[in-house]
Amino acid sequence: MVSGAGFQEQLNSLLNQSCRIVAPPRTISEDRNLVSSQGRAEMTPHAARRGWPNLPIALCLMFLPIDHARAQGPRPATGRSVSPSAASGTPSSTIVEIKLISSPDGGALHSQQWVKFLEPLDVTVQIQQSTGTEKPGMREREVGALRYVTVVGTLDRAGRASLGGRTFELSDGAKLREWITELKTYGVQGTPEGQPMWGLTKAQFNQFYDNLLKPAEKDARDIPVRQAVSELPIPAQYSVRWTQAANELLKRPGARTRARQDVRGFSAATALAVALNDCGLGFRPNRTPTGGLEISIEPLGECKDQWPVGWPMQQQRLKAAPKFFALTSIELNQVNLTDLLPTITELTDIPILIDYHEIEQKKIDLDKTTVSFKKGQATWSRALKNMVVPKKLSPEIWQDEAGKTFVWLTTNRPGRSGQPPE
């Protein structure tokens, strides 16, 4: 074990030296035995690191070599322009599993028809009687280069299948095939084209998305949120409107009014979403009476269609974050989590953003949260998950609108389909 000044000296030495090659290049398969049974989505990026703390932490970097040039992979210009045939950023293979729960009043009569209908679509099909334990919904998980998308739906007595919030009939072959192709390409959350688009046409949405790709250049930490928003590279054509509810929220006694994280390098849209989230706010594009668009800022949760912090990954995570998924020797003993997060960022080149609003709503005090990890070989993705899940936290991995990969540390609350690091 190393502690105190000795830790800082040894860790800085490790960071400054080149990694020694210890094995030929190969694919890393993570040790499944490390998976927590409790499981289920950037602190500040490494630029916000507060300096190496004196921690009882021993880290020995033995990253297996990865071809850095190949690991970068293509970054999509947007999160919505990848076609099924060109989705080189998705996992190399996606397996879609469909489970249909037949209704007790006759849905089973159509089971065989649906099996024959779905099998040619290259999906795994299972139809069963309702037991009351399986609930309709969608989820996904990744194992290495494989992504598993599971859809649990219902089959009614008229032969209609309800899947992922949509209803299909046996005559909807083309419609169902298109939806399954979208699942294989984008996963559970789907392409932004398939999401509610705030009443915008596809052309308007595409233009708005593309116009907010420019990276933020200023550190927003401890800056009044209004100032932080004004300093983001948001095109002048989009006026920013603070709703009455947003203004009232900021005026409440004890309200958070300052951004808390360094968003430099993130696309303007993600930087805006994070800075606002720090203060319990969100945004969405809104059409104006004149036909233009504005950015409407409102309290989180006031509307269900607020702009998300991050989008599904468009490239394999092993390529997008090679150091985050590389095996290394890790040993931690009662380390403060807020001190550890920037250290992980420094070691893996993956920024970690924090869902402060959600975490504080659940009365979790990050400053008082300590974590430990028994000495052994693991990836940082697995270690981080195993350490924070018992604390009712969850690390999700997303990308911003320009393709920048990051970890979003939030609570383990049910919500949008997260992609917890595997």
The CATH number for 233's domain is 3.55.50.10
> Which range of residues forms the domain containing residue 240?
197-299
In this prediction, residue 133 has a pLDDT band, given cuts at 50, 70 and 90, of confident
Q: Mean per-residue pLDDT for 80-93? A: 42
Same domain, 284 and 203: yes
Which one is predicted more confidently, 201 or 24? 201
Following DSSP, what letter does each residue of 256-297 receive, concatenated? --B--S--TTSBHHHHHHHHHHTTTEEEEEEE-TTS-EEEEE
Q: What percent of the chain has pLDDT over 70?
A: 72
Report the SS3 class of residue 187: coil
| Ranges 143-147, 174-178, 298-302, 390-394: which has the least confidence | 143-147
Residue 309 within any structural domain of the chain: no
Same domain, 328 and 256: no
Q: Mean per-residue pLDDT for 263-280? A: 97
| End-of-domain residue from the set 256, 274, 299 | 299
Residue 422 within any structural domain of the chain: no
Which one is predicted more confidently, 13 or 209? 209
Does residue 188 surpass a pLDDT of 90?
no
Taking the C-alpha atoms of residue 152 and residue 175, their distance in angstroms, rounded to an integer, is: 18
Same domain, 287 and 368: no
Q: What is the pLDDT of residue 108?
A: 62
Residue 307 within any structural domain of the chain: no
Q: Mean per-residue pLDDT for 236-258? A: 94
CA dihedral 300, 406, 73, 31 (to 10 degrees): -120
Does residue 49 surpass a pLDDT of 90?
no
Same domain, 325 and 377: yes
Using alpha carbons, select from 212, 313, 227 the residue that is nearest to residue 271.
212
Same domain, 203 and 291: yes
In this prediction, residue 267 has a pLDDT band, given cuts at 50, 70 and 90, of very high
Same domain, 201 and 295: yes
Q: Mean per-residue pLDDT for 33-44? A: 35
Taking the C-alpha atoms of residue 208 and residue 202, their distance in angstroms, rounded to an integer, is: 10
The model's pTM is 0.58
Give the model confidence (pLDDT) of 335-388 as tens digits: 999 999 999 999 999 999 999 999 999 999 999 999 999 999 999 999 999 999
HEC secondary structure over 396-407: EEEECCCCCEEE
Does residue 422 surpass a pLDDT of 90?
no
Residue 40 within any structural domain of the chain: yes
Q: Mean per-residue pLDDT for 45-52? A: 38
Q: What is the pLDDT of residue 77?
A: 37
Residue 393 within any structural domain of the chain: yes
Residue 136 within any structural domain of the chain: yes
**Given the DSSP bridges, would you call strands 161-163 and 146-155 parallel, antiparallel or unpaired?**
antiparallel
Q: Mean per-residue pLDDT for 207-212? A: 94
Same domain, 131 and 153: yes
Same domain, 126 and 212: no
Does residue 54 surpass a pLDDT of 50?
no
Q: What is the pLDDT of residue 88?
A: 38
| End-of-domain residue from the set 121, 156, 186 | 186
Q: What is the pLDDT of residue 414?
A: 65
Which one is predicted more confidently, 274 or 313? 274
Q: Supply 7's token pair.
A: 């830790």
Residue 305 within any structural domain of the chain: no
In this prediction, residue 78 has a pLDDT band, given cuts at 50, 70 and 90, of very low
In total, how many domains does the chain have?
A: 3
In this prediction, residue 56 has a pLDDT band, given cuts at 50, 70 and 90, of very low
Residue 82 within any structural domain of the chain: no
Q: What is the pLDDT of residue 7?
A: 41
Are the C-beta atoms of residues 422 and 396 closer than 8 Å to each other?
no
| End-of-domain residue from the set 299, 333, 351 | 299
Same domain, 11 and 53: yes
Same domain, 139 and 160: yes
Does residue 28 surpass a pLDDT of 90?
no
Same domain, 210 and 129: no
Q: What is the mean pLDDT of the chain?
A: 77
Same domain, 213 and 286: yes
